[in-house]
Amino acid sequence: MAKLTFKTDNCKGCGLCVDACPKHVLQLAEDKINKKGHHPVEAVKEDECIACAFCATMCPDCIIKIER
Amino acid sequence: MVVFEKPYALTDVPMHYCPGCTHGIVHRLVAEVIDELGIEGRTVGIAPVGCSVMAYNYFNCDMIEAAHGRAPAVATGVKRAEPENIVFTYQGDGDLASIGTAETVHAAARNENITIIFINNAIYGMTGGQMAPTSLPGQITQTSPYGRDVTQCGFPVKVCEMLSELDGPEYLERVAVNNVKNVKNAKKAIKKAFQNQLDGKGFSLVEVLSSCPTNWGLTPQNALKWIDEKMIPYYPLGVYKDRSAAKEDTK
Amino acid sequence: MSDKVLMKGNEALAEAAIIASCRHYFGYPITPQTEVAAYMAKRMPKIGGTFLQAESEIAAINMVYGVSSTGHRVMTSSSSPGISLKGEGLSYMAGADLPALVVNVQRGGPGLGGIQPSQSDYFQATKGGAHGDFHMIVMAPASVQEMADLTVKGFELADKYRMTAMILADGTMGQMMEPVSLEYDIKPMPEKPWATTGTKMQRGHNIINSLSLVPEELERLNFERYKKYEQIEENETLYEEYMMDDAEICIAAFGIAARVSKNAVNEARRQGIKAGLIRPITLWPFPSAPFKKASERVKSFISVELSMGQMIEDVRLATECRVPVTLCNRVGGMIPSPEMVLEAIKEAAKNGGAR
C-alpha cells in the first residue's frame, strides 16, 4: 500500500504525471483550482498505486512524495 | 519507507518554468546526483542567461549567475581557483551553442575539469520563442515565421558531434527527458558527468533534449512526442565520446 | 633605502601583482601589454598560480569573474581594443560587486588604431566603460615605480570596496625601464563571507548575481552602490601638485603627458613664467578639489593629453569654467614634446588668461 503526498500549491497541472502512471491512479482535479490557478493533480485510486514513481520521475516541479 | 521525494540539493523555491517544461526534471536530476554523491557542500553551480537564468534560486549549493554564454569561462575560473570544489554549468542552446560557442569549444579543448548540463530545446524560450542555433530545419519560430530556411540561416549546430572531433573532452553524451526510460538514462549520464569530475577526468557534457511546450505551441504531452518524433531523429541519442571507456576497451 | 632593480613597467606591474598575492591571471595577446602575460606565464606555474591564455578577451574577463566569485585575488590585462571586449564582463562584475584588477596599457584608436601610446580610453575608463550605472577605480601611473605601487593599491582598494580597480597606463609606461623598489607591507585580505566557495553544509547558499527583476530592488542596489562611490570620492582620491604654490598657469596631465609637462613647467619657470602642474593619479575619482581651489587663483588651465580632449571636460567641470581651459594634445600614438607644452604655456601667459 503506497502513500502519495502532493505539494498541491506548486502543481502547474501539466498532466505529465497522469500520463506516466501505468495504473491510471492520477487525474487533474477539474473541480479544484490551486493558488497558481491550475487544476492540480490528485490521486483517484491511491490503493492501486504500486509506488513505481513514474509520476514523480516525470513531474517537472517535484511536488510528489511517495511512501510505502 | 520513502520511495521518492524532492532531493535535498533543491531549495523549496517554486520554479518559475511554464507548465510541463522539462527544465524542472533536469534540475531535479542534477540535484539527485549531488545528493547521491554527497557533494552539495563543495559544489558551485553556474546559471546561464535564458529560461534557466534563475536556476541560482533552485539549487542549495553556492551559485553564480554568468553573462550570456560565458558560463564555461566562469566555471574555468572557479575550478582553477578551487580545484577541490565541484563546478557545473547549466546552459541552454542559445547560451551554449550560439553566443557562447567559443567558450564551450575552448573549455572542451582544454579538457577543463568541469561538468556541463546542456539543455537543447531548439528554441529561445525566455525571449518568447525565437530561432535557436539548434532549431530544426523548417521549424517555425518567431524569427523564422516561414520555417527555418537552411539556405538563409544555415543548419542546426550539433554540439555533441562537433565537440567529439576534439581531442580535449573526456565525455559527451546526448540524452532526452521525454519519457520515464529516457529520464532514467539522463540521470545516469549526469551522474557520470559529475563522477568524472570527482575522478579528475575532465570535461564532461551532457546534452539533454528538452521540451518547450509554450513556445513550440504544443501541449506538454505533445511536446514530449515532438522530442521523440522530430528531435531525436535529427539529434540521435547516445555516447559521443567516453575517453576512459575507450581506453579500457583497447586494453 | 631598499634595493632597487631595473625593470620594464609591464614586468614591474606583474611582479607587484604577485607580491600582492594575486595567483590567477587570465589574458589574451595584444600589443603593447603582452609582457604582462609573458611574465605571468613564466612566474605563475612556479608559485602554484594560474596563468591561462584565454580564447578571447571576453572569456578572460569571465574567468576573472569566476575566480573573483571564489574570493581569490585575480587580474587580467589588455590594451584598448581588448578592453572594449572586456566591457561586458566589467559591467557584470560591477553588478555583482566583484573585486578584480584590470590593466589597460592604452594604444591609439578608435578601431584597431595603432600600437603606439595613447590616453584615448579616458572616457571609457572613467565614465563606466560599459552598460549600466557604475564606476571603476581608475589609476594612472606616471613611472615604473607607480606601475608597481598602484597595482598593489589597486588590489587593496578592489577588495575593500568590492569593485574593479583599473590601471590605466599607456604604452610608454608599459615599455620603459626604470629602477624600482618592490618592497611592500601587504595588508591581509578582508574577509569575504559572500564568496562562492561551497557551503560546506555550514551556511545557506551564496549567490553571485547581477540580475534584479524588481525595479524597486534594482534601484536600491544602484543607490547603495553610489553611496559607496561617494565614500571612495571622499577617501581615495590621489593627485600630485607640482609648483602650484604661486602658479598662474596650471597644467592638468597624467601618465606620460605629466612627465613631459613637468619638463615644460621647469623650463617655463626658468623663463620667468609661473607655471605649475596638477597630476591626477586617480582619474576616477577625479581630484576635483585641487582644481577647484586652483581655479580661484590661476589665470588659465592647459589640459595636456594623448587624446582629443577627454580629461579636459573633467577639468572644466571641476573649475566650473571660472578661467579658460585649453587643450594641448597629440594623438594616434604621438606624444606632445616639452617644447610643444612650453609653447602652450607661453601662449597662455601671453593672453594673460584671456580665451
Residue B239: all three cell numbers together:
555516447
Q: What is the CATH number of the domain that holds A12?
A: 3.30.70.20
Omega of the bond prior to C45 within 30 degrees of 0, cis? no
Distance CA(A56)–CA(B25), nearest Å, equals: 9
- Residue C116 pLDDT > 50, yes or no? yes
C141 φ/ψ angles, rounded to the nearest 5 degrees = -75, 150
**Chains B and C lie in contact, requiring 3 or more CB pairs less than 8 Å apart:** yes
All domains of chain B, ordered by start, with CATH? 23-250 (3.40.50.970)
pLDDT band at C352 (very low <50, low <70, confident <90, very high): low
Query: Residue A57's domain spans which residues?
Result: 3-67
By C-alpha distance, the chain B residue nearest C194 is: B62
Q: Tell whether the model's pLDDT for residue A1 goes beyond 80.
A: no
User: What's the pLDDT at B247?
Assistant: 85
Helix boundaries (H) for B13-100? 23-37, 71-81, 93-94
Residue-wise pLDDT tens digits, B201-238: 999 999 999 999 999 999 999 999 999 999 999 999 99
* Mean pLDDT computed over C183-197: 97
Which of B128, B126, B50, B125 has its CA nearest to residue B89?
Answer: B50
Tens digit of each residue's pLDDT (9 = 90 or more) over C67-80: 999 999 999 999 99
pLDDT tens digit string along A11-25? 999 999 999 999 999
What is the set of domains in chain C, with CATH numbers?
A: 5-197+207-235 (3.40.50.970), 239-351 (3.40.50.920)
- Tell me the average pLDDT across C87-98: 98
CB spacing of C205 vs B62 below 8 angstroms = yes
* Nearest C-alpha in B relative to A19: B221
User: What is the DSSP secondary-structure string of C203-244?
Assistant: SPPPEE-----SHHHHHHHHHHHHHHHHHHHHH---EEEES-
Percent of chain C with pLDDT over 70: 98
Selection from C159, C178, C170, C157 nearest residue C116 by Cα: C170
Asked whether the beta carbons of residue A61 and residue B14 sit closer than 8 angstroms, the reply is yes
- Distance, C-alpha B14 to centroid of its chain: 21
Establish whether this prediction's ipTM goes over 0.90. yes
Instruction: Identify whether the C-beta of residue C106 lies closer than 8 Å to the C-beta of residue C120.
Output: yes
Q: Give me chain C's average pLDDT, please.
A: 96
Provide the number of structural domains found in chain A: 1
Cβ atoms of residues B168 and B154 within 8 Å:
no
Give me the mean pLDDT over the B238-249 stretch.
92
Cβ–Cβ gap B24/A62 under 8 Å: yes
C-alpha pair distances (Å), B40 with each of B6, B189, C199, C322: 15, 18, 8, 62
Kindly give the residue spans of alpha helices, DSSP state H, lying in C162-310: 171-175, 215-235, 255-270, 288-295
pTM (2 decimals)? 0.97
Q: Which residue has the cell 553573462?
A: B67
pLDDT at B86: 98
pLDDT for C355 beyond 70: no
Chain B residues in contact with C67 by the CB 8 A cut-off are: 77-78, 80-81
Question: What is the mean predicted confidence (pLDDT) over C260-271?
Answer: 98
Is the pLDDT at B121 greater than 70? The verdict is yes
CB distance C253 to C170 below 8 Å:
no
- What pLDDT is attached to residue B246? 86
Closest Cα to residue C36, out of C141, C148, C145, C164?
Answer: C148
Strands C164-170 and C137-139: parallel
The stretch B11-17 carries a mean pLDDT of 97
Q: Does the beta carbon of B55 lie under 8 angstroms from any beta carbon of chain A? A: no
Q: How far apart are the C-alpha atoms of C87 and C210, rounded to whole Å?
A: 15
* Cα separation, B15 vs B54, whole angstroms: 9
Q: Is pLDDT of B120 > 60?
A: yes
Phi, psi angles (nearest 5°) of residue C104: -120, 105
Q: What residues 210-239 of chain B have any CB closer than 8 A to a CB of chain A? A: 213, 220-221, 224
Which of A8, A36, A58 is the best residue to mutate to test the B interface, defined by the most B CB atoms within 10 Å of its own CB? A58
Gap from C55 CA to chain B (nearest CA, Å): 7
Q: Is A21 on the interface with B (CB under 8 A)?
A: no
